[in-house]
A = this chain, B = another copy of it.
Amino acid sequence: MTRTIAIETLTPGGFAAYGDVIEAVGDPDMIINQAMCERYHDRALIDLDNDGGRAGISVFKATVRAVPHLLDMMERHPLGSQTFVPMAADPFLVIVASDLNGRPHEPKAFLTKPGQGVNYHRGIWHGVLTPLHEPGLFTVIDRIGPGNNLEEHWFDEIYEVR
Contacts and interface: CB of A to CB of B under 8 A. Distances in A.
**Chain A interface helix/strand/loop/mixed:** strand
A49 to B, nearest CB: 15
Contact of A60 (B39, B60, B140): B39
- Range, interface on chain A: 35 or more
User: Can you tell how many copies of this chain the complex includes?
Assistant: 2
B86 A22 contact: no
Interface string A17-47: 0000011100010001110111111111010
Contacts of A129: 33, 36-37
Given A42-B144, A115-B137, A139-B117, A128 B58 contact: no
Interface string A35-79: 011111111101000000011111111110000000001000000
A12 interface: no
Given A36-B62, A63-B37, A141 B57 contact: yes
Interface of A: 22-24, 28, 32-34, 36-44, 46, 54-63, 73, 83, 85-89, 114-115, 117, 119, 128-129, 135, 137, 139-141, 144
